[in-house]
Amino acid sequence: MDMAIYSTGDRVQVAQKNPVAKTYIGVVSKDSTSKVLMLRLDNGYSLGVKLGKGMSINVIGKQELKKSVKVNAKQDKNMPKISIVSTGGTISSSIDYKTGAVSPITKPEELLAKIPELTKIVYVTNVAQPFAVFSEDMGPKEWQKLAKEVASELNKGNEGVIVTHGTDTLHYTAAALSFMLTNLSKPVAVVGGQRSSDRGSFDGALNLICGAHFAKSNVAEVAVVMHGTTEDNFCLVNRGTKVRKLHSSRRDAFRPVNEMPIGRMWKDGTFEVLNKDYKKRSTGKVIADVDFESKVALLKFYPGADPDLLKYFVKKGYKGIIIEAAGLGQVATNPIDKNKSWLPAIKEATKKKVFIGFTSQAIYGRVDPFVYSNARLLKEAGAVFLEDMLSETALVKLGWVLAHSKNHTEAEDLMLRNIAGEISHKIEPRGFLY
Amino acid sequence: MDMAIYSTGDRVQVAQKNPVAKTYIGVVSKDSTSKVLMLRLDNGYSLGVKLGKGMSINVIGKQELKKSVKVNAKQDKNMPKISIVSTGGTISSSIDYKTGAVSPITKPEELLAKIPELTKIVYVTNVAQPFAVFSEDMGPKEWQKLAKEVASELNKGNEGVIVTHGTDTLHYTAAALSFMLTNLSKPVAVVGGQRSSDRGSFDGALNLICGAHFAKSNVAEVAVVMHGTTEDNFCLVNRGTKVRKLHSSRRDAFRPVNEMPIGRMWKDGTFEVLNKDYKKRSTGKVIADVDFESKVALLKFYPGADPDLLKYFVKKGYKGIIIEAAGLGQVATNPIDKNKSWLPAIKEATKKKVFIGFTSQAIYGRVDPFVYSNARLLKEAGAVFLEDMLSETALVKLGWVLAHSKNHTEAEDLMLRNIAGEISHKIEPRGFLY
């Protein structure tokens, strides 16, 4: 096989025989190496094909450069004003097929040229980009910058803000904004896309359209606004503290946990409310209260896990740890091998004023220290059972709470107080596998 | 409020005012303390009520001791022979309401007296209990003992085996049995119960009935057989490597991931196959191949996570680590704070021959190193992307594989080879949120 037979930008048909016979058609991207052929498929996905024996590659055309379609992206200043804050990631980038280079969209006109429908919904006053990182590279510092930027845009007189974000850690960021934006009086839509914006199948378009409708809505919450199904019909509006990416690649990957979505936002702007329990739009300045204790960790328990791991975090000066426990909030407390009991390490940690919070790796449901006697031992050792809070939300909340409380008692009180919809008093059964 | 007004075994009505007005009716259990009143509710659940101001407690009756109903538990030796292996936990225990003491069921007659329907389905030759621990106290050593016991029972001429298990880590154990029982020629049903066996609402009864039907079926796999809905109509038969507890307390908490359940086992023994891709019953001795490397860890990535954690495991002599990464298999590789990049720590680990496997915390879907360039960097650093394997299954498989491979290449090959149905070549869309 000769690398020279095709080059970047060629449209090729690849037929492989192993491990199964398959044919792919796509455009060669410049990321290709001598071992892996990177294709951009027609559905917008990227695909890496391992080059190997028994494979045939035929050039079947040249990638047609997209015609610069002249769109009527003229904005109407009488439409509700919103602003977009972009953090980087697929949704806010444009790819040059000639070179494969990814370039960020930084002007309203660029975005509106791609999604002219937006001009019929809102007036985009600004596209701000405080930083550009992939979502897996986000961290507390980026959450802080982002919260400040969003608050600033909201306080400039915009009706709402759309945050564009890579999808992988989008739910952590949505939770962070939920706690950091206090006195939130306007909607904040967090949207992502799994396919790049220069594609016909660009899923970010629907998400941005729904996000724009949401940004002028009556809901004063941070919400994740993403595809509700694999169709381009509506987005789910899920509360920022009660949502999780539950599929690595589907467009409808973001699902509510333990509650119904706030609603469905249809493409035409119809807002079908499914859960009336949301904060309504009001007036007043939004505050970015971004103090955050970054020495917090999330630790998933598993059978046979060594409790020394907990000691490691304590030694490293961590101030709080969320233990993603089994079932109703269980870790080993009475194993046959006594060294595997987590009870002594938990006692030691809480004695040193390290906050130990329990969530469930079952994802849905609530932790409860009162069903089994061994969980009561954990509670007596100082572990705090965090109701039906998602592990990811609990981690983010803990960092925020520890920077906002004077002592352990106050921290416990704040962790168990419902601040941004993160604790459901009653779990909605329809929210299971919704 | 006077503790003396009620005592263990009393049926009481508790009315609380805070945080919300609620009334509970249940029987006082002896676990009650001066701070928490433990009730056994009529639905079989335990509930702890924090005693406090504004609460009224009225004794409304005495718990009626269950009449020892004489059941026709006589076994028919012509029925298909099966055996039960009990590990402890709610399903295999009986609670004395007078004292609250939990005692294990160790004889077929005791179990059959509780679930006489079993005599019409199978002939239970033995109830073995190699150990008795709660499921959160299980570990590799218990998996090994259990696998040996199950193999021994299967090789004694039983048609199949039912394993009873606490629910919290049941899916880890089911995965362990799936790898350890090689040459499996008969069915192994792993069942649990969320409510104790002396309750009318004992959910373990349906699970045991379905488990018994399954144990004489044609499916030579380890399967989790648990309630399919909140009704007592059928159980789902889910492959032991493709199932997860997805709710902390619902009876239908065990759901398939990335594939359809093998089928529905109805109460009357009707087996409705939903996924034909299962191993059929055959003959031949079952082998308990239980070698296991216990120095394996499961590590969940989160934004801002310190890569030093990985170094800690390497230093501690761990031989393999499953990283439950974000989305398609992402961890920080290019953060603004360079100390937060996981790339150097992963390179260092793989250089020292520590196996690094990637799974997705999105749960559903597949990891893929070829969509984004930063994931390719992780692959180049030696991380192995474990397709659509569940994190819990991957952890268990890694411990088993590392004890069954001579070197890193062989381990990688085994980890990527489908041994017990843990890797789906094609993900079944209907398996999403099933």
Among the partner residues B136, B141, B374, nearest to A134 by beta-carbon distance: B374
The answer, yes or no, to whether residue A433 has pLDDT greater than 80, is yes
Residues of B in contact with A432 (CB under 8 A): 246-247, 250
Residues of B in contact with A45 (CB under 8 A): 371
Report the gap between the CA of A220 and the closest CA in chain B (Å).
Answer: 25
Residues of A in contact with B305 (CB under 8 A): 297-298
* B327–A245 CB contact, under 8 Å: yes
DSSP A219: B
Distances (CA, A) of A165 to A138, A221, B370, B378: 10, 17, 20, 22
Say yes or no: A274 and A353 in one domain. Answer: no
Q: Which of B87, B119, B167, B333 is catalytic?
A: B167
**Torsion-angle region of B284 (φ positive above 0: left; ψ -120 to 50: alpha; else: beta):** left
Report the gap between the CA of B269 and the closest CA in chain A (Å).
Answer: 27
Say yes or no: A284 and A330 in one domain. Answer: no
The domain that holds B13 is classified in CATH as: 2.30.30.520
Distances (CA, A) of B84 to A355, B16, B141, B235, B351: 42, 43, 20, 18, 46
Print the domain residue range for A196: 81-288
Report pLDDT digits (tens) over A267-323: 999 999 999 999 999 999 999 999 999 999 999 999 999 999 999 999 999 999 999
* A372–B332 CB contact, under 8 Å: no
- CB-CB contact of A172 with A203 (8 Å): no
Say yes or no: B224 and B284 in one domain. Answer: yes
Say yes or no: B131 and B234 in one domain. Answer: yes
Cβ-based burial of B34 (10 A; exposed 0-12, middle 13-18, buried ≥19):
exposed
C-alpha dihedral sign at A277, A278, A281, A285: positive
Report pLDDT digits (tens) over A319-373: 999 999 999 999 999 999 999 999 999 999 999 999 999 999 999 999 998 877 7
Asked if the structure places residue A430 within a domain, the reply is no
Asked if the structure places residue B424 within a domain, the reply is no
Report the gap between the CA of A110 and the closest CA in chain B (Å).
Answer: 24
Asked if the structure places residue A222 within a domain, the reply is yes
Asked if the structure places residue B16 within a domain, the reply is yes
Pairwise CA distance, residues B142 & B87, whole Å: 9
Say yes or no: B281 and B345 in one domain. Answer: no
* B140–A336 CB contact, under 8 Å: no
Say yes or no: A42 and A88 in one domain. Answer: no
Asked if the structure places residue B235 within a domain, the reply is yes
User: Shortest CA distance to B249 belongs to which of A241, A425, A430, A368?
Assistant: A368
Say yes or no: B258 and B304 in one domain. Answer: no
For chain A, the farthest-separated pair of C-alpha atoms sits apart, in whole angstroms, at: 72
Domain boundary among A266, A288, A310: A288
How many domains would you assign to chain A? Answer: 3
Say yes or no: B259 and B344 in one domain. Answer: no
Q: How confident is the model at residue B106 (pLDDT cuts 50, 70, 90)?
A: low
* A248–B297 CB contact, under 8 Å: no
Pairwise CA distance, residues B350 & A347, whole Å: 35
Say yes or no: B218 and B279 in one domain. Answer: yes
Among the partner residues B142, B248, B373, nearest to A366 by beta-carbon distance: B248
Pairwise CA distance, residues B9 & B60, whole Å: 11
Question: Burial code of A173-207, b = ≥16 C-beta within 10 A, e = fewer?
Answer: bbbbbbbbbbebbbbbbbbbbbbbbebeebbbbbb
B76 has catalytic annotation = no
Say yes or no: B13 and B45 in one domain. Answer: yes
Say yes or no: B311 and B269 in one domain. Answer: no
Among the partner residues B245, B373, B395, nearest to A302 by beta-carbon distance: B395
Q: What are the beta bridge partners of residue A235?
A: A227, A265
User: Shortest CA distance to B26 belongs to which of B56, B54, B62?
Assistant: B62
Residue type, A169: T
Neighbours of B20 (CB within 10 A): 8
Active site residues of A: 90, 167-168, 245
The domain that holds B338 is classified in CATH as: 3.40.50.40
Coil/strand/helix, residue B132: coil
- CB-CB contact of B242 with B234 (8 Å): no
Pairwise CA distance, residues A146 & A129, whole Å: 9
- CB-CB contact of A206 with A227 (8 Å): yes
Among the partner residues A300, A366, A370, nearest to B298 by beta-carbon distance: A300
* A433–B46 CB contact, under 8 Å: no
The domain that holds A207 is classified in CATH as: 3.40.50.1170
Residues of B in contact with A336 (CB under 8 A): 131, 133, 137, 139, 141-142
* B330–A168 CB contact, under 8 Å: yes
DSSP A310-369: HHHHHHTT-SEEEEEEBTTTB--SS-SSGGG-SHHHHHHHHHTT-EEEEEETT-BS---T
Residues of B in contact with A254 (CB under 8 A): none
The dihedrals phi and psi of B113, each to the nearest 5 degrees, come to -65, -30
Kindly give the interhelix angle for B170-180 and B140-155, rounded to the nearest 10 degrees: 60
The answer, yes or no, to whether residue B241 has pLDDT greater than 80, is yes
Give ipTM to 2 decimals.
0.86
Asked if the structure places residue A369 within a domain, the reply is yes
Separation of first and last alpha carbons in chain A: 48
Pairwise CA distance, residues B146 & B142, whole Å: 6
Q: How confident is the model at residue B1 (pLDDT cuts 50, 70, 90)?
A: very low
Asked if the structure places residue A71 within a domain, the reply is no
Say yes or no: B302 and B281 in one domain. Answer: no
Report pLDDT digits (tens) over A118-152: 999 999 999 898 988 889 999 999 999 999 999 99
